[in-house]
Structure 1
């Protein structure tokens, strides 16, 4: 009976960690943060505005250094190290202009932003169809990257469980803090890998999907993306006239 109780408690703890991990994942990716309850949505909105201001300043500095590189006198040109540092400061805030309160959420959102800008493709509509034509090894790589993202979030769920024990057991505090740091770093790395694979898969295999859809062969670009999206998009149903 004691062994059964220990096993049941371990199973319940594992399920609780996974449940908390799903909460951590939704918070880290922040896909629908505009619908968060008050006061979380207000805090997130202010944080997004601050990140946008910081990103605008860093981006302006980077573009100014790029402009100085075209100076006719070599002495007036900045060192490459300065430009690399400015680019790194910008990327540390977000890869593209921030639209979400977290770096991981913005990193995945940046893949959709880039594809919409460069290829005129809506990743949300395109992805289920593209997934069916991807080679098995690529789908395996994407699945492993997505699983790594989930595991990093579950580690954050364990941190929340240990934090709940801090009232009775003080060593739980440094343990929870350590797990938070590790979880944050793994979320950062996993979201970067996952977003990179999503974007690369679209850029490399959009022509394969276009071939399946019997679209005339076109070079990779906005024309091909627009043609694919027109074929995949469902028409808006006509509204009945009011009587």
Structure 2
């Protein structure tokens, strides 16, 4: 038990140091440097050295009690700033996923309508290209058949990049860059998660919101670990964006901090998009690979592959007749 408590205490100390103290100390150092240098002397390191020498020569530096008190206040402030960054990260995650609070909902609805218009235009263009390509293929086949009947084997399969029309692969990719399904949120990340529900329901008639907690209990440890890791990556990216928001304050008086804001925000946003995509893919894959296990656990026969018929029975069973 003593060894266990010692190991646990060490891990907690490492976590507290890496997640709370060190980022907070770095932020406090940037704030202090910005307040000393300002915009006019942004890269004048001599001013920081002079201020540090002045503080070290003061009477406070010779008092152990004062030094201990200041060090304790700095550590507490570092932890407090880290908690503030985590709180900001929670709010930023909600914004990324399109769960906007009341004052922002009108803007969210306007952005959603704009995304719907863009997605519909891209979808219409893609479907028109598919139709035109199918008509050309049918006309070429009729011309090839002629009055003598069908020819021999075709030389090569049709190229998706049709030289006589628009590239349907590129048009499909352009539409999917907006959203995989009809947009319902003001952000790409929110629509990427919503699309999982729509795609699963379209393929299997399963209400994923109702089925997911039950399916989670049936997933193997490897799948659970991968899903947890991707979800944690999204939280970490949002927390990093929270830190970027905090660096706006020193950027007001010290312009190099603005570079930190730009780099941190961009990297956090990229990481967040990747984490959302990976999380959505893993959730959809869990349904594809283990949906039959859920049907079997509910007593629904599913011998070969999960079909909309079994999926509809799963939804009816889990909704309890609602």
> TM-score, normalized by length of structure 2?
0.68
RMSD: 1.9
Secondary structure of 1:69 counterpart: helix
Aligned to 1:227: 313
Max Rg structure:
2
Segments of structure 1 that go 5 or more residues without pairing to the other structure are: 237-243
Confirm or deny: 8 A CA contact 2:227 2:282 kept in the other structure.
yes
| Alignment of structure 1 residues 59-138 onto 2, 5 Å | 59-70=123-134, 71-72=136-137, 73=140, 78-79=162-163, 82-138=167-223
Q: Which aligned pairs between 1:90-239 and structure 2 lie closer than 5 A?
A: 90-218=175-303, 219-236=305-322
1:4 aligns to what?
72
Answer yes or no: is the 8 Å Cα contact 2:98–2:108 preserved in 1. Answer: no
Q: CA deviation at 1:87?
A: 1.8
CA distance in 1, matches of 2:166, 2:219: 39
TM-score (norm 1): 0.89
**3-state SS of 1:217 partner:** coil
CA distance, structure 2, for counterparts of residue 111 and residue 212 of structure 1: 22
Aligned mates of 2:298, 2:249 — CA distance in 1: 53
Q: Alignment length, in residue pairs?
A: 231
CA contact (8 A) 2:247 2:261 kept: yes
1:37 is matched with: 102
From the superposition, tell whether residues 166 and 64 of structure 1 become closer, same or farther in structure 2 (CA, over 3 Å). Answer: same
Deviations 1:40-80 (A, max 9, x none): 111111111111111111111111222233213489x8249
Once the two structures are superposed, residues 70-126 of structure 1 have per-residue CA deviations (whole angstroms, 9 ceiling, x without a partner) of 213489x82498223212221221111111000000001000011111111111111
Preserved CA contact (<8 Å) 2:93 2:235: yes
Partner of 2:31: none
In the alignment, what sits opposite 2:116? 52
| Structure 2 Cα separation of the partners of residues 217 and 166 of structure 1 | 60
Three-state SS of the structure 2 residue aligned to 1:197 is helix
Partner of 1:239: none
Q: Which residue of 1 aligns with 2:82?
A: 14
- Does structure 1 retain, via aligned residues, the 8 Å contact 2:189–2:276? yes
Which region of structure 1 is more displaced relative to structure 2, 192-201 or 54-63?
54-63
